Structure 1
């Protein structure tokens, strides 16, 4: 089976690539050396919707499909893996809130996460393994 990107997906990929080439790739080494992603880049990604690609528009997201999300991760990851990790974790946090959020949590947190005003975090710990995910059995 031969799969083709839709016109919307091709347009999104071109936009993601241009952004990554202009705003991320030239500075990726600096981001890694300083161990930080600049706030202005995070805000710009929020303004473009790159921190909330699959979130419904009602919460400030772009409402795009999984293929487009994959294309975003491919282009951003090509430019800087650390920045791609930010997008991935942000998406994990948003998805958890979207799926399991209660009592106004979605309305309170999702738009701010989508805009880049807040940065989500992921933590892992298990008895007898701590935070080493590879040792979990």
Structure 2
């Protein structure tokens, strides 16, 4: 895996998370209207993550950084192996999203530990948001 492949895969994964949360918004509209806003807010943050990663890809931001030395080990991260989710219920969706948010958190924390300065801070911030998403989803799941 090279750097462009890594970033393209991360963009794809963030897009998948966005789509999953938008589907959650749709499920919630019919099953649990009080949860629509939760899914909408999380989807917006995933969209912002995707945009950040797309900017890194187009600006070649990670070239020449320490990430290059870790590409082989990053290819083994669970987030990079996630495939398209096809939940059939709100409960399945929340469980799938929870797993994916955890995978994203772990990978972004790894990237934050590899990178210095502002790039490390960006991944740390994104990891923190993924952790918040997972916490919200856990509470939501417990309430289903």
Q: TM-score, normalised by structure 1?
A: 0.29
Richer in helix (by share)? 2
Q: TM-score, normalised by structure 2?
A: 0.28
